[in-house]
Amino acid sequence: MINLENVNVEFGEFKALHNINCSINAKDFILILGHNGAGKSTLLDVISGRLTPSSGKILRNNVDISLLSEAKRARFISRVFQNTNMGSVATMTVAENLAMATLKCKTAGFNFAIKNFPQQIVEETLKPLGLRLEELLNTPIGKLSGGQRQIITIIMATLCEPDILLLDEPTAALDPVSTENLLQFVHNFTKNRNMATMMITHAEQQAKFLANRTWVLQKGKLESN
Amino acid sequence: MLSFLPVVVGILERGFIGAFIVMAIYLASRVMKFDDFSIEGTFGLGGAVVAWSLLHNTNPWLALLLGCIAGGISGCITGLLHTKLGLNKLIAGIVVTTMLFSVSINIGGANVALGNAPTVFSALHNSSFASLILLASMALAVAFIFIWYMKTESGFILKSTGINEQFVTSLGKSVPLYITLSLIMANALSALAGGIFVQYSGFFSAFGNVGILIAALAGCMIAELIAINMFIMALFGSIIYQLIIAITIELQVEPSWQKLITGLLIVVILVVKKLENKKIKGSVAA
């Protein structure tokens, strides 16, 4: 589905990514491990379009998307950051944020989405979780706990069924209990979907039950694939 | 009591004209988090375009529309300087407002009286409240248009861009487009205010816009102190600001001190806000 061919990212003399070759297939759950500064986030930056590779190609279904902007890639690549503030608008309610997230696939107009779509999400996504998030629809998302907000952010990132979901240390700002809940949620949420998931995490032991592949990055090089 | 009436009407009229710029400041500075200096320049540009148009026998409403378009184009240039050329927000605004001074003076001249040229107020001379009603209606109409717009898809994305650009990018929307769009609207509003002011006062001065940004900022900050809906409160903020200026005139303070008073007013509002925040934090801690 997505292939990286000889991808390099250089910042002056510093090589952040060195000759990366890999492929990501549908339904893959890839755990990305490595020390700080190993190039994990840079790898996700390059895939999501936040960074343009210095050389090499990123192919989606054999079409080169290396020069496609981040906004254009957002139609098929969703990303969730460790900072829970980055994936939503804190002053808007949960319902408004969810409605905004539907704009990416534009299955309905926004006015329709704001009135009807949250109800659909309530029935199909929020209620089955059993976390009572459906009771918080009219609460500004900034008032939710970090764990609740991250779960909503992941739901928002997947509403339009992307090819790949990129999770950049989604548990970094969470306490151990919330981390456990979030990982369980990610497991339940991704297993029946036809998308690939890549997750950077330092909670390796807690998260390894999720993955079918594990990549280790060291000094910008993909050591195991 | 009756002698006060024209003063009160004057305050309200100037307040409603100022409300357009307060809304412009709110849109650029608060919604988009873009402190746009060019709003000062487009107030002058709007006035210049309207003055030139009226002196060339243009319909006064069409003249206002031309002024708005000119303001919108200026806002677009500020937006492009920032989003495409990477110029700092503040510098982009200063560059455009500096260029607009030359443009305005070449379009409208340094000081121009409209003479007998028809304005939107020409037909209203017989009634003492007609100008006030017209200005209030226009300000309210624009405020309600913006309240409606902010609830649309485009309005939500625009608001989101000011709060979280990364979120808007992740929706597949263009952040530069929405930054530029907000500046187009803000500068069109400012030019509209300039155009209305020229028609209201009957003259255009190339220096008439100096300090208008800071006056509008004061109005915006007053509005924020009493905010329920900012676009409605912009009207009150602007009127209260005009009231404060009128009181200083009544107290026989020299007009040359007006800019200093406006600056001090902003400082006072900041102190009040700071004290209020402390009070809120104190009560939460207790």
Annotate B160-177 with DSSP letters as a single string: HHHH-HHHHHHTT--HHH
Q: Do B171 and A100 touch (CB under 8 A)?
A: yes
Strands A29-33 vs A14-24: parallel, antiparallel or unpaired: unpaired
B45 — phi, psi (to 5°)?
A: -65, -45
Break chain A down into helix, strand, coil percent, rounded to 5: 40, 25, 35
Q: Which of B169, B171, B174 sits opposite A103 (nearest CB)?
A: B171
Domain of residue B111 covers: 5-211
pLDDT, chain B, mean: 89
CA pair distance A152, A100, nearest whole angstrom: 12
Residue B224 domain-assigned?
no
Chain A positions in Cβ-Cβ contact with residue B161 (cut-off 8 Å): none
Residue B206 domain-assigned?
yes
pLDDT band at B133; cut points 50, 70, 90: very high
Residue B270 domain-assigned?
no
* Whole-number pLDDT of residue B2: 55
Average pLDDT value for residue range A179-203: 82
Average pLDDT value for residue range A37-61: 92
pLDDT band at B225; cut points 50, 70, 90: confident
- B285 has a pLDDT exceeding 60: no
Chain A positions in Cβ-Cβ contact with residue B156 (cut-off 8 Å): 92, 96, 100, 110
- A103 has a pLDDT exceeding 70: yes
Whether A60 contacts A25, CB under 8 Å? no
pLDDT band at B283; cut points 50, 70, 90: low
Chain A positions in Cβ-Cβ contact with residue B157 (cut-off 8 Å): 100, 103
Residue B218 domain-assigned?
no
B234-262 confidence digits (pLDDT tens): 888 888 888 888 888 878 888 788 888 88
Residue B196 domain-assigned?
yes
Looking at CATH, the fold of the domain delimited by A27-52+69-224 is given as: Rossmann fold (3.40.50)
DSSP for B247-281, written as a single string: HHHHTT--GGGHHHHHHHHHHHHHHHHHHHHHHHH
Cβ pairs A/B, distance under 8 A: 57
pLDDT band at A107; cut points 50, 70, 90: low
Least Cα separation, residue B152 to chain A (angstroms): 7
Chain B positions in Cβ-Cβ contact with residue A104 (cut-off 8 Å): 170-172
Residues of B with CB under 8 A from a CB of A: 152-153, 156-157, 159-160, 163-164, 166-167, 169-175
* Whole-number pLDDT of residue B196: 96
* Whole-number pLDDT of residue A27: 86
Residue B51 domain-assigned?
yes
**Tokens coding B127:** 């009634």
Structural domain count of chain B: 1
CA pair distance B23, A30, nearest whole angstrom: 49
Residue B258 domain-assigned?
no
Residue B187 domain-assigned?
yes
B263 — phi, psi (to 5°)?
A: -60, -45
What ipTM was reported for this prediction? 0.82
Whether B215 contacts B263, CB under 8 Å? no
Chain B positions in Cβ-Cβ contact with residue A92 (cut-off 8 Å): 156, 159-160
* Whole-number pLDDT of residue B281: 62
Average pLDDT value for residue range B131-158: 92
**Tokens coding B29:** 């500075």
B125 compared with B147, residue with greater pLDDT: B147
- Asked if A1 reaches chain B (Cβ–Cβ under 8 Å), the answer is no
